[in-house]
Amino acid sequence: MELFIAALDSWESYYFMLGGSAAALIGLMLIALSLGLRIVSETTLEDIKAFATPSVLYFVWVFMLSAAMLVPSESPLFLSIILLPSGVVGLVWAFPYVRRLIRAGFEHQDFLLSDWLSQVILPVGGFILMILTSIFFYTDQAPLAFGSIWLSSVALLIAAITNTWSMVIWIIEAQQTKGKED
């Protein structure tokens, strides 16, 4: 158990940085959304939800993951119990949004390979890795668990950032189109 606590403590700075970054990016995301309020209409609302909701929730998942990893006096079993339902709920929750993003991409004919990676593969992979991390912690495979939870957090953070960037570009393009129409 002492080796586990020492390994967990060695990741403390990483999780402080990760949680702070996720919190700051949530704030920036809300600012970006407020800048795009002029283009919200009945036709654009679903597209905005398709971009915004997953991004905000991926940032929140990363923030909560960081918070869980910073709880003092944890045990591998505690982390396993926290991460398993988080990963399962995340995976179940992600599928409708992934379908909506794919549908919006095909509708607008702009769903590229990079979009598949950032908006489908990374979030789904991140949640699968979270489930695997839970199993690794439960079976006392701490090195695998720490590596896979790191990879999960990075995958979700990258998915949120790239999804947010896609939303910002979409808002800019929609505002330019609306400006030409007015």
DSSP class of residue 36 equals T
- pLDDT given for residue 64 in this prediction: 92
Give the domain range for residue 49: 2-34+41-177
- pLDDT given for residue 73 in this prediction: 67
Helical (H) or strand (E) element with 152? helix 142-181
Q: Is residue 182 part of a domain?
A: no
Q: Please, which residues have CB within 8 angstroms of residue 167's CB and are 6 or more apart in sequence? A: 32, 33, 36, 48, 51, 52, 55
Give pLDDT tens digits for 132-172: 999 999 999 989 999 999 999 999 999 999 888 888 887 78
- pLDDT given for residue 106 in this prediction: 75
- pLDDT given for residue 152 in this prediction: 96
Q: Is residue 108 part of a domain?
A: yes
Q: Indicate the number of domains in the chain.
A: 1
Top-confidence residue, 32 or 58: 58
Give pLDDT tens digits for 36-82: 777 677 777 777 777 788 888 999 999 999 998 888 767 899 999 99
Q: Please, which residues have CB within 8 angstroms of residue 30's CB and are 6 or more apart in sequence? A: 56
Residue 179 pLDDT class (50, 70, 90 cuts): low
Give pLDDT tens digits for 72-124: 767 899 999 999 999 999 999 988 887 877 777 777 776 777 778 888 899 99
For the chain, counts of helices (H) and of strands (E) = 7, 0
Helix (H/G/I), strand (E/B), else coil: 163? helix
The pTM of the full predicted model, rounded to 2 decimals, is 0.85
- pLDDT given for residue 83 in this prediction: 93
Contacts of 116-120 with CB under 8 Å at 24 or more apart are 118/158, 118/159, 118/162, 118/163, 118/166, 119/54, 119/159, 119/162, 119/163, 119/166
- pLDDT given for residue 18 in this prediction: 94
Contact status, residue 175 vs residue 36, Cβ threshold 8 Å: yes
- pLDDT given for residue 95 in this prediction: 86
Contact status, residue 80 vs residue 135, Cβ threshold 8 Å: yes
